[in-house]
Structure 1
């Protein structure tokens, strides 16, 4: 891994923030470029570094710098939101606008409508002027104030749009595809020799962005899902051999399904993309479900949308506009197979898919705090001239990480981790299904 962030050039302007450079005066200090956090906190890594006489791999601490690359009196910033909806997008938009305006005195802030489409003049979306008054209440609502879209646009065209509109900084709020896109924009900017900074704020409801602790909106997602699981349990328990199946988001990673099951411990089986399971055979899904019904007369099953794809007949791979594989519907598949399996037994099956309700929910208190702090740190890094980075928490510290490092692979649940073991302890399901 390489955690060295790119910079547009030497900072030449003094920050307008009235912060301190002295410890102990009870005023927050500017963050120095030398301030870093160790990435691997394990004792093994510590020992190896000592034995080899090398410095450990470190991450750059996020926060306000004393010296800025951009002149606040002559800077234009733009914000774009891409991909699927996620709780907290409006909170981040609001936080960026407020920080730019009130911290740095930047007056020209543009909103890019409907994702990267908004940087293609041919789409005719134009720009939205963002002011504190315009965004002051948007955090109360879910969705995105600016609108979103999936799919790529011509990179050179988007860079030309930024340059022609004298945009100095682009803040891109989105997941894996969005971050790859803004990194490509940054690469093209460098090729053209332009002084335009690009910043990513990682947004994916699935929490599958590598390296970082969590993406915003994730906590709200399993918070909202928790009440749905509670109600689904009530439905299942209210019928003889009642079975509730709840499909939650999670294309490649099962963090929402697993976390929701822990948060609302009424779930008996959790199926996630990281695990391979079988329906038939000894200790298979059906056998475990039969045992549960014989003991308690009801069962709650949570399945992530990307789970069990190996159970379907092989078909040509179809991808959406963002390049994500479109999975077959495991929820309806399970409902039909369970119904078929128990055709000679009296069962009541309830199937629930609350995905879009969860996606469009407003951020809860925890995510609201996280979104504001991400926004502030993103602005501080951008004003200092840092580019092609994401701001997030790693090891519970706010840091700047090169986009290229977080987009190399998707984060997944380690089936040997204590986290997954906690899920199994909560549900009572075996380590392997079949």
Structure 2
């Protein structure tokens, strides 16, 4: 069998570990893995690279992806579907392993159902918001980076009696914010799934100062709204534009919140936004292990002819679910936030 392997959407720590595991598993059983460059664009434009023992050696610990990535969607690009079908006619692949987030899983399902190409999906995102799997690889690394940042902010916040706000990624979910906030001992956490008003945060900071705590650490997810007791709600964006999926370009809520808190409390407030730092660099040992398991399982599904599925982690078991079930986003269990509230203030 010739099996294409692609990475689509945003990059994330652990992509190379998946590629390595899937390719090595396929080669071990006598199959030929092919790297499709820049996501589904590589499939449409026959932009392939050879994946052999040499090319997948020494990449386990590397961030990014050796095959590149893009948001190319053949169903939205002009002549995209025709190009994919033409490529399959002239130089066909027996199956494709597609590594990506919820949008990639949607495209992958359509590729099998509408174009007849056998596919297996592998869920990746630092946001941990893909449904029907407990954890995506890349999440643990992003949480560790954010936790390290909180640890560093603690020392400078305490030295200068400041309020420190850390803005993290997560888009429409608060997984990174809550996990890093609990691990880093944050004094307040703002997430899209649960509203917390500016007045409530200000009051909590004031209570801390009354008890002799002269600094506070606040973690806020980029998709959280700036909310007020008056009922006013604001979603902060970097611009009025939307991305190619129609989603707003989020970012800046940390700065907006800082202005409101400093005005109400009188305490100096500073902001750190980690941005794409959370998506880059070396994956943690946990993500390397998880990504390796995902890649090997994807190859096993292809070799067994069990396509049209997404690899999934359920508890400690690596299994799979039909791609048709993978839709929407997985929001955080609010019981985690209730645990965090135990330590607020």
Aligned to 1:88: 14
For residue 340 of structure 1, report the CA deviation from its aligned partner: 3.0
Q: Equivalent of 1:168, from 94, 109, 117?
A: 94
Aligned to 1:329: 252
Q: Is the 8 A contact 1:156 1:188 kept in 2?
A: no
Structure 2 unaligned regions, length at least 5: 75-79, 228-232
Partner secondary structure for residue 287 of structure 1:
helix
For residue 328 of structure 1, report the CA deviation from its aligned partner: 5.0
Mapping of residues 221-370 of structure 1, within 5 Å: 221-240=142-161, 242-265=162-185, 267-280=186-199, 284-295=200-211, 296-308=213-225, 311-312=233-234, 318-342=241-265, 345=266, 347-370=267-290
Partner secondary structure for residue 426 of structure 1:
coil
Structure 1 unaligned regions, length at least 5: 1-74, 191-195, 429-434
Distance 1:384 1:278, change over 3 A: same
Q: Is the 8 A contact 2:130 2:136 kept in 1?
A: yes
CA distance in 2, matches of 1:365, 1:313: 35
Give CA deviations for 1:189-223 in whole Å, capped at 9, x if unaligned: 33xxxxx4201000011111112111111112112
- TM-score, normalising length from structure 1? 0.72
Give CA deviations for 1:267-308 in whole Å, capped at 9, x if unaligned: 10000010112223xxx2221222223330000000001011
CA distance in 1, matches of 2:147, 2:183: 6
Q: Equivalent of 1:98, from 24, 27, 35?
A: 24
For residue 87 of structure 1, report the CA deviation from its aligned partner: 1.1
Mapping of residues 129-208 of structure 1, within 5 Å: 129-153=50-74, 154-190=80-116, 196-208=117-129
CA distance in 2, matches of 1:255, 1:299: 21
Q: Is the 8 A contact 1:254 1:274 kept in 2?
A: yes
Give CA deviations for 1:405-425 in whole Å, capped at 9, x if unaligned: 121x2111233x2x2221222
CA distance in 2, matches of 1:133, 1:323: 40
Give CA deviations for 1:200-255 in whole Å, capped at 9, x if unaligned: 00001111111211111111211222111100111111112x11111111111101
Q: Is the 8 A contact 2:224 2:235 kept in 1?
A: no
- TM-score, normalising length from structure 2? 0.90
- The farther-off stretch of 145-154 and 155-164 is 155-164
For residue 183 of structure 1, report the CA deviation from its aligned partner: 0.7
Pairing 1:117–2:41 present: yes
CA distance in 2, matches of 1:155, 1:393: 31
Partner secondary structure for residue 391 of structure 1:
strand
CA distance in 2, matches of 1:404, 1:331: 37
Aligned to 1:60: none
Distance 1:309 1:381, change over 3 A: farther
What is the aligned residue count?
A: 333
Aligned to 1:77: 3
For residue 323 of structure 1, report the CA deviation from its aligned partner: 4.1
- The farther-off stretch of 370-379 and 302-311 is 302-311
CA-atom RMSD in angstroms: 2.1
Q: For the pair shown, which has the larger CA radius of gyration, 1 or 2?
A: 1
CA distance in 1, matches of 2:138, 2:236: 33
Q: Equivalent of 1:393, from 313, 319, 337?
A: 313
Pairing 1:414–2:333 present: yes
CA distance in 2, matches of 1:206, 1:151: 20
